A and B are shown apart, each in its own frame.
Chain A
Amino acid sequence: MDSYALWVLSFLFLIPFLLGVISIFIKSFPADRMMRVVLGLSALAVLLLLWGGEMTLPVPLSFLGEPISLSLSTTALLLCLFLLGVLGVLLHLNRGKSGRTLSRFNFLVLNFSLCFGFLAFFSNQFMIRYIVLELVGLLAAASMCQSLTPEAFKRFGDIFLTLRIGDICLLSSILLILPYSGALAIPEMIAAAEVMPLAQRSCVVLGFVLAVMVKMGVFPFSGWQKRARATMDTPAFWTTGFLMPALGMYLLYRVQPLIESDPLFQVAVPILAAGVILARMAISYFGQRPYERFIHLGSVMNGFILLMAAYSTGHALRYYFLGLLLHRLGLYLQAQEVLPQKWGVLAFYPVVLNLAILVPHLNHFPIALTTGWVALTVLTFFWDRHLTTRVLSPQTAYGSVTRDWRRPVAALAEGLYQHMEINAFSNGVEHLAGAFAGLVEWVQYSVEMGFDRAWAGLGKLLNAISTGGLNVLEIGADKKTIGWVEDLMQSVEARERDVQSRSLRQDLIWIPILMLVILGFLSISQGG
């Protein structure tokens, strides 16, 4: 059974990889057809593995001296299967919509993503997982380079950097555990991490959570998803829009026991989740930018995963992942106008999904979490409804909004006047909401668009620091040194001219002076 599974896995990894490599060298490569073949074969392979059941397979290879194993969990296999289905949909859309054939570039990106994605799902060693996650991240960023324009490269850079930050958080956690586990196998590492001192364990958990948030595109790390939307019309979007978030989900799945290992984490992570969900909702709600359902709602829904991860629910997490990915697919189809914009099913879907998960597991979750979850679910529903139906005025296009920061203050002042002069109670709530709206609007301007400005500003700041550093510490210091040396040379030259024009008397005077010095020294030392 093991060897059969190993063969299937090898097939699963190698076929996309080799075909991707081959496509580089053959100009008239039938990318479309081959992609369907790969899809079909991969799906078949995954089904076969599912049928084989869960197992851990040792592989006759090692990584830096440590043996490698693969873990075939039902969760991973189901996710893979689902993702393959999504890919099929995207490919169909690509061909169907405009009759476009799959380009060799997209074929390459997709096949390599498949190969490394599968590896990431099935790897039972953290370092291998890290490596392939980096590679998938690179591919996700590379998918922006449909054309080699500077703008495309900028998107590449932004996505690559953001995902890199997530990977660094992941690597930090892995390396923090390593001295305790002594091995890189995931089960051993998790087990070792569970008994680490709390302070270090907190760092590890924080690292993992941040990595998960980056990969899933949870606020405030959703910026890269926005940049990725530039390729939404191409099949390569699968890598950024679906594969990467799914990998984030599965990472969370594997490290979930750590979150459960201490009550502190079981409180902190849901609070964090609630915080990012609310922040995301507030910014979108009070902001004046167009509501992009796929990005914003997708980000919010991914935040819900963190709520669930605090408490073990058997296989429910797996189904929640699948449910969310399905929702994500629906949002995508809506964005691509395949599904109607006001399709009610999609609107109620998150509520149904959350309740479907929550209700059977009420005993698992503390009442506070359950209450919060329900509240957030309801809030999400109304928030989504509101934003879907909201009509924005023309001048509030994305990126061109300028807000007067005094407006919240003015609104508050107006509210107070109304309260004091007119009827405080009837107008009070409305004015309070307005003041709050203004405040959040300011936050949105500063934070949301501020992220974009901060991102650009960070670049400028970096530029300023490094250029300033270069001018002061390098060029300036060099100039100062050169100036000092030149001054020294000039003084030496001047001194030399003095010496050459000096009369003999001036030289001879040193003889009695030295005599006196020596005699003085001798008398002092004798006296001593």
Chain B
Amino acid sequence: MAGNVSVIAPLGILIAGGFVIYLLARLLNLDNRVEAVLTVLVLLATLVTTWMLIPSWFGSTTAFFGVLGDGGVIFQPNVLGIFIFLISLILGGLVSLYSAKSLSRDSRYLVYYPLILLSLAGLLGMFMTRDLFNLFLLTELTTITVSALVGFRYHQDRAIRAGFKYLIMSSLGTMIMLFGIYLVYRGSGALGLQMEIPIGTDSFSRIGAGCFLVGFSLKAGVVPLHTWVPEVYSQAPSSVSALMAGVISKSMLFIIPGVCLRLGITREELGIFLMVSACLNMLLGVIRALNQRELRRFLSYSSIAQTGYLMFTLGVGIYYSYTPAFSTGLFLFLGEAVMNGLVFLSAGVYEYHLDIRDVQALSGVSRKMPAQAFCFSVGLAGLAGIPLLAGFTGKWLVFSATIAVNDRFAWIGLAIFLISTVIGLAGYLPVLAFQYRPAENLASDSAVGDFSRVHVSNWMAIPVGALTLMVFLLGVYPGPWMGIIESLIKWLAI
């Protein structure tokens, strides 16, 4: 083994933390809340170790840990991975806090938090590894842990079905990636992903890259491989949905360029694929979101559309080699993580306290939970792109990047982006408005009943409140965040 051990310290903390927490919980019969706090502490520790190591990573393309030479496995951090991981850690911490209350009616919380930690570990590892096979392993880790999380409420048929579906589809995706690994090794004789050095541009490597593209597209929920998304996001615990919709699935999009471009796919090819798929995602997501009865299915389709926005931005950046588009992509990722996290957690609050799963049942809910309704409204308004919220700043940046390249394809994509935004409004606004329906207009299926106020537990309220604040901050004062992203982007090597 060579290199700097501190490179894999965060990974180690997460994995070890997962097992330790499980053991402690098992042996000491820990309460759900205690386990949640422990998880948060682990995540904090990971955060701290990551921050402490950043100076040595920035400016350094040589920091690594692993076994050099043929057959060796190397972990090498990059700024993209750091950025995404930090966001994932923060969201993971908030989700864990939230789960302290949301899982209070579940008995199997013992395994929940370790699974969260392991899935995040897999995610981090995917960004750090410089080896294709390792990448496959870590992807499998994420797949399996997430599948288990999806099917967490195994006493519910639909949850089991959703978990199963995700497991099968994702596994099939990773199997295809494995096949791709074989082809790459056959073609180039190597599996290492070095910075700026392509493995090979032969036909086998390119086909292998295609396999990786399929695999990661499936995990990201790219049309037509998105069919697991509505099932999974609506059946998994809302905290899991928040994590998946917020960071896990979307971060796959950032792995795609790092892998595929080094395996022989050109920028133009990848860019076209991303832009065309983005258009499908954007349109399908918003159209299918219309008229959805189930709240979380509605949010799932919205998430598919959000994935499309992100893909479009990345596609523009890759196809036109336009760096500001990557900044935009990162900002969008941050914004979508926050907004998706917010809306899914808010949906969970309604489910937990009022047993509301349907959109119609939201009628008049603002009278019982005014603050919660406000937070949910902020999330929806943010997703709709209302000014002074995160979504609008992202929209502005996407427009700027697309207009700056000033190309026909970009303009077409922008037009589709605009259309999807407008259609999306038709979906978001009624849901938002339902919460504020006056008492005399309440539908008979409203779950509100009487108008006595319901107190939302602090365990849930704090994460929701923090995310709401973030949505505002990203909209009103995005400068610092954009500054961070711009300083990161210099070191981005795709």
Contact = CB atoms under 8 A, between A and B. Distances in A.
Query: Direct A–B touching in the complex (beta carbon < 8 Å)?
Result: yes
Interface of A: 488-489, 492-493, 495-496, 499, 502, 504, 507-508, 510-511, 513-515, 518-519, 521-522, 525-526
| 7 A-B pairs closest in CB distance | A507-B227, A518-B210, A510-B224, A489-B291, A525-B269, A515-B214, A519-B210
Given A508-B172, A511-B173, A521-B269, A489 B206 contact: no
Contact of B292 (A496, A511, A515, A521): A496
Contacts of B168: 504, 508
B157 interface: no
Interface in B262-295: 265-266, 268-269, 273, 287-288, 290-292
Contact of B206 (A488, A502, A513, A526): A526
B291 A521 contact: no
B210 A504 contact: no
A526 B288 contact: no
A521 B268 CA distance: 12
Contacts of B130: none
B294 to A, nearest CB: 10
Interface string B295-310: 0000000000000000
A521 B273 contact: yes
Contacts of B292: 496
B488 interface: no
Interface in B307-358: none
Contacts of B214: 511, 514-515, 518
B176 interface: yes
B127 interface: no
Interface in B216-230: 217-218, 224-225, 227-228, 230
Given A489-B290, A493-B291, A525-B268, A511 B210 contact: no
Contacts of A525: 266, 268-269
Interface in B356-408: none
A526 B210 CA distance: 13
Contacts of A515: 176, 210-211, 214
B188 interface: no
Contact of B227 (A489, A510, A521): A510
Contact of B218 (A502, A504, A511, A521): A511
Given A492-B287, A496-B292, A508-B168, A522 B225 contact: no
B87 interface: no
Contacts of B273: 518, 521
A63 B206 CA distance: 81
B299 to A, nearest CB: 14
Interface residues of B, number: 32
B250 interface: no
Contacts of A519: 207, 210
Contacts of A518: 210, 213-214, 273
B197 to A, nearest CB: 20
A507 B268 CA distance: 29
B49 interface: no
Query: B172, B173, B227, B288: which has the most chain A beta carbons within 10 Å?
Result: B227
B203 interface: yes
Given A489-B291, A493-B291, A514-B214, A526 B203 contact: yes
Contact of B169 (A488, A495, A507): A507
Contacts of A499: 227, 230
A496 B234 CA distance: 14
Contact of B225 (A504, A514, A521): A514
Contacts of B101: none
Nearest to B203: A526
A495 B290 CA distance: 12
Contacts of A513: 224
A14 B258 CA distance: 89
A514 B216 CA distance: 12
B222 to A, nearest CB: 8
A496 to B, nearest CB: 7
A519 B212 CA distance: 12
Contact of A495 (B224, B266, B288): B288
A493 B290 CA distance: 9
Contacts of A522: 206-207, 209-210, 265, 269
A511 B225 contact: yes
Nearest to B168: A504
6 contacts: A492-B287, A499-B230, A504-B164, A510-B225, A515-B211, A525-B269
B167 to A, nearest CB: 10
A508 B206 contact: no
A491 to B, nearest CB: 10
A526 B268 CA distance: 11
A511 B227 CA distance: 11
Contacts of A489: 290-291
A513 B172 CA distance: 13
Interface string B165-190: 10011001100100000000000000
Given A514-B217, A522-B210, A525-B266, 12 more contacts: A488-B287, A488-B290, A496-B291, A502-B227, A504-B168, A508-B172, A511-B169, A514-B224, A515-B211, A522-B206, A525-B269, A526-B206
A495 B218 CA distance: 21
Contact of B290 (A492, A510, A514): A492
A273 B206 CA distance: 91
Nearest to B290: A492
A259 B453 CA distance: 85
A64 to B, nearest CB: 41
A502 B161 CA distance: 12
A493 B168 CA distance: 26
Contact of A496 (B211, B228, B288): B288
Contacts of B209: 522
A493 B292 CA distance: 8
Contacts of B230: 499
Nearest to A507: B227
Contacts of A488: 287, 290
A3 to B, nearest CB: 64
A522 B266 CA distance: 9
Query: B172, B211, B228, B291: which has the most chain A beta carbons within 10 Å?
Result: B291
A492 B289 CA distance: 9
